Amino acid sequence: MDIKAVMHLRRFKDIVKTLFRYGFDDVVDRLDFPGKELLRKIHKVQGEMSTWERMRHTLEDLGPTFIKFGQLMSLRPDLIPNPLVLELRKLQDEVAPVDYEAIRQVVETNLQRPLAEIFSSFDEKPLAAASLAQVHKAVLRDEGQMVAVKIQRPKIRPVIETDLYILERIAGQLHERTEWGQIYDLPNLVQEVKKSLFRELDFTREARHMKIFATTLTESSEVYIPRLYEEVTTPQVLTMELVQGTKLRDLKVDAVADRELLAKRGLRLTVKQILENGFFHADPHPGNIIILDDNVICLLDWGMVGRLTRRTRYDLIDMINAVVDRDSEKILSILLSMTQVDGSIVPRRMEREILDIVDIYHSLPIQELNIGQLLLDISTMLRENRLKVPADLAIMIKALITAEGTARQLYPQLNVVEEAKPYVRKLALERWKPETIWRDLRRNISGLLTFQKELPLRLSQIIDKIDRGELSIRFQHENLGGIRSTLENITNRLTLGIIVAALIVASSMIITTGVKPLLFGFPALGIVGYLVSGVLGLWLIYNILRSRKF
């Protein structure tokens, strides 16, 4: 055990105790954890729970970092089984609030002014308290505006760093010692979570995401973005307008005057973000959505977003069209261009699996078609075939599934395909606009001109290496055994055929000379030549017929 692990012995002990408590003895046995033998007598939690439920409760008991780990994993249905995804979505991120005095110190340290100089009032009791931050209601002294102040919990970063170090050790050992650990590539999972968590700890990123979203939807009256107060925003303090409305999770569906309108707006908002803007909210669940007057939608918590490049969005459109046409070969080609191959694949088997998925959705009425679920089934198939889906694409699938599910809860008869069709058509037409074609052409010409400028220098460098004797060319032949064997067979038969022909010609010339000794009145040497060539010719014909390659 290294020195860093010894420094965190207490935390190691807490994790081992929690794993034992929820019956994960087999996991602990595969981990090189200190003192695990002394903790085997921990009383297990009573009651019938599935494996997925025990995993969720384990994460909740282990605290903020592990809760966030579970929540982030619930956004990646391409990496973990769907039953676990559904269970992780239930993770509760509501914890006891931090003492007001500690919160005041964080605000004053970050804004470098006393609290009373910034806010005319500041509620000591938080509106909400989560694992990474808590939100307080306040009134800005200069503007007189009521605001929501999101403040990071004091000293939360060292706690997260410690837990992530332990998570990295757990993931590394399970990856080495279990087959399922290798299938799910646990070390890579932890690295993705680590990157996402540290990004989420920087509130200026969330502020930037809100500004980007506001600029893409400036003309929409169906969506509202809270005003951001950048002068009182830092990496640990985020100040925005306090929006008064009803959270979608608290909204009584029966009390909504126009459920169909609200469902359509919510779904259109997500599809527009994904296909038109390529910049979208990563987790649009009902707890992050506030409904204002006239069914205006306000999205909160922009800590995590996804981005799709223009090329990825075009590929999505092509794949949807290929699904409609049941073109499994084209679907496979698009998927292979969008994913990272981790091992060998069997294209024909994947085509059959794609057709199985497509056939299921072709059998459904169009109003029941669920695009997000279709993409989820495809991503699950990719995971089973050891193909890695890009993180942003996987998050997009989860966001679309969440938006579709929420919309259908409000209005079960919602036709998802019909609502998405205008954005699909718009994106499909956009790629063939003259300005788009000209932009792509200009980029290609620019790349060609750049290459033309660099070509002389590159050729000069190659020639210099040749002059110095530093250039080496290495050929490596792979999977050429069959070709080599075939060429050898062809060459041998051709050579034997030439020899037989030469023997026949030579024997015929000898027969005409009358050279002694004679056999049956003909030169014996010529007759022997005929016999040998005849035997060789018959043997060659027999081999060709037996191989059935003619």
| Encoded tokens for 147 | 């605001």
Higher-pLDDT residue of 142 and 384 is 142
User: What pairing do the DSSP bridges indicate for beta strands 223-224 and 297-299?
Assistant: parallel
| Encoded tokens for 435 | 């300005």
Q: Would you place residue 389 in the very low, low, confident or very high pLDDT band (cuts 50, 70, 90)?
A: confident
Please give the torsion angle defined by the CA atoms of residues 513, 516, 521 and 522, in that order, rounded to the nearest 10 degrees: -40
Residue (of 2, 98, 86) closest to 50 by Cα position:
86
Q: DSSP H helical segments within 411-523, as ranges?
A: 416-430, 434-468, 481-513
Instruction: Quote the domain boundaries for residue 230.
Output: 94-162+184-242
The tally of domains found in the chain comes to 5
pLDDT given for residue 458 in this prediction: 80
pLDDT at 419 over 80: yes
Residue (of 192, 169, 132, 198) closest to 7 by Cα position:
169
390 and 512 fall within a common domain? no
pLDDT given for residue 284 in this prediction: 83
404 and 453 fall within a common domain? no
Q: Would you place residue 109 in the very low, low, confident or very high pLDDT band (cuts 50, 70, 90)?
A: very high
pLDDT given for residue 117 in this prediction: 93
> Residue 285 and residue 104: Cα distance in Å, rounded?
31
Residue (of 169, 189, 170) closest to 76 by Cα position:
189
518 and 537 fall within a common domain? yes
The pLDDT of 450-466, averaged and rounded, is 80
Q: Would you place residue 106 in the very low, low, confident or very high pLDDT band (cuts 50, 70, 90)?
A: very high
Residue (of 324, 477, 483, 307) closest to 396 by Cα position:
307
Looking at the DSSP bridge assignments, the partners of residue 306 are 280
383 and 519 fall within a common domain? no
307 and 446 fall within a common domain? no
215 and 345 fall within a common domain? no
374 and 254 fall within a common domain? yes
CA atoms within 13 A on the CB side of 91: 30
pLDDT digits (tens, 9 = 90+) for 296-309: 899 888 888 889 98
308 and 412 fall within a common domain? yes
Asked whether the whole model's pTM tops 0.85, one would answer no
CA atoms within 13 A on the CB side of 139: 4
pLDDT at 15 over 90: no
pLDDT given for residue 209 in this prediction: 92
253 and 344 fall within a common domain? yes
Query: 107-116, 120-129, 368-377, 414-423 — which is least confidently predicted?
Result: 368-377
pLDDT digits (tens, 9 = 90+) for 252-295: 877 777 888 888 888 888 888 998 888 998 888 888 889 988 88
The pLDDT of 383-404, averaged and rounded, is 83
- pLDDT above 90 covers what percent of the chain? 14
> Residue 274 and residue 230: Cα distance in Å, rounded?
27
Please enumerate in sequence order all residues whose Cβ is within 8 A of that of 50, keeping only pairs 6 or more positions apart, or say none.
83, 87
pLDDT digits (tens, 9 = 90+) for 490-539: 787 788 788 888 888 888 888 777 777 877 777 888 888 888 888 888 87
pLDDT at 342 over 80: no
Query: 2-16, 87-101, 291-305, 306-320 — which is least confidently predicted?
Result: 2-16
147 and 177 fall within a common domain? no
Q: Would you place residue 140 in the very low, low, confident or very high pLDDT band (cuts 50, 70, 90)?
A: very high
427 and 300 fall within a common domain? yes
pLDDT given for residue 301 in this prediction: 87
pLDDT given for residue 478 in this prediction: 53
Q: Which of 153, 183, 213 is the last residue of a domain?
A: 183
Residues in the chain: 550
Residue (of 17, 7, 153, 74) closest to 395 by Cα position:
74
369 and 384 fall within a common domain? yes
